Amino acid sequence: EYIGLCALGDYDKAPPSESMWKFAIALTQELIDAFSITNAHVIGHREVYTMLGVPQEKSCPGRFWSTQDFRTDLAKLSK
């Protein structure tokens, strides 16, 4: 089973707004808590290609959206 979240925008052109980032962090944390998900299981769309062993077709969520920074901010919130 999977839960997918979509942050609308072209994050190859510009980073997400601070409010979008904070909302996405808060919503993800709520889902982590509700479904006992670990931060290690929070992945970006483009990371799915690597997990499946197939060539990356998209840059989602975009070069200005760092999934590693997202996981780091989640870890700070859960402390």
**pTM, whole model, 2 decimals?**
0.85
d(CA 12, CA 41): 23
Q: What is the mean pLDDT of residues 54-70?
A: 90
Q: What is the mean pLDDT of residues 15-44?
A: 94
Q: Are residues 78 and 32 in contact, defined by beta-carbon separation less than 8 angstroms?
A: yes
d(CA 14, CA 53): 28
Residues 52, 45, 1, 77: what is their CA dihedral angle, to the nearest 10 degrees?
130
Q: Are residues 67 and 48 in contact, defined by beta-carbon separation less than 8 angstroms?
A: no
Q: Are residues 16 and 9 in contact, defined by beta-carbon separation less than 8 angstroms?
A: yes
Q: Provide the mean pLDDT of the chain.
A: 90
